[in-house]
Amino acid sequence: MIIQIYAFTQIEVMLQAVAAGVDQIGFVAGKYDLVHGELDFRSASTLAREIPRPAKSVALTMSTDVNEILRMADVVHPDILHISTEMDAVGIDQMAEIRARLDPTIQLMKAIAVVDQNSIDTAVHFASVSDILLLDTKMKGFPGVGATGKTHDWNLSREIVARSPVPVILAGGLNAQNVRSAILSVNPWGVDSNTSTNIPGNPLAKDIVRIQEFVKAVRTAGKGETL
């Protein structure tokens, strides 16, 4: 089970997280004043280079401009490029263009807003132009997809996992208390945490204790067990 944590801004805390067992280190690359913890391209590149292997870097973008997204990827060179804009803002055609022009060593991940039954077909459609899907929660008043701290219907996520031809990461309000149930319900390839692993009241700082608790909960989830 892959563990992905967002959104790191400090190298020291990132190194602690990797030591705790985090597989994929997420950060926001680009100053768009839309979400917390945004890093300029140079700072994001520095953080990415300091991530010890085998952990991977995941650069999240809120840009809707294909050329700008690709410029970020060239500068930061993450292992995974995470498109987290509004679903239609970077659609199938734009994703296909990014995939065609992106360095082939970089994987492309699309955030999918899990809302209703239509989300299942949407996810499968985007899987055709993505290497990884991330299933997250969309709420009014929050830019892009995710970072709401809220869960969504895991029954829909389970259907997406069953039908997706590419690996799926489950996100959206996961914490040390509910991630076991989420894993057993959805059976994803990976799980993601952002808001629940922050220092309470400080969305710009990660809480290493909460990260350790999240990792422990994931690693101790029953293997082959179902709810």
Tens-place pLDDT, residues 14-23: 999 999 999 9
The listed CATH number (1.10.10.60, 1.20.58.60, 1.10.3720.10, 3.20.20.70) that belongs to domain 2-219 = 3.20.20.70
Does residue 3 contact residue 214 with C-beta atoms inside 8 Å? yes
Q: Which residues contact 87 (CB under 8 A, 6 or more apart)?
A: 112, 113, 122, 138, 145
What percentage of residues in the chain have a pLDDT greater than 90? 83
Q: Is it true that the peptide bond before 104 is cis, omega within 30 degrees of 0?
A: no
Report the predicted TM-score, pTM, of the whole model to 2 decimal places.
0.93
Mean predicted confidence (pLDDT) in 119-140: 93
Q: How far apart are CA 143 and CA 58, in angstroms?
A: 19
pLDDT for 148 beyond 80: no
Tens-place pLDDT, residues 168-219: 999 999 999 999 999 999 999 999 999 999 998 887 799 999 999 999 999 9
Q: Where in the chain are the domains?
A: 2-219
- Three-state SS for 190? strand
Average pLDDT, the chain: 93
Residue 225's pLDDT band (boundaries 50, 70, 90)? Answer: low
Angle (CA) 167 92 68, round 5°: 95
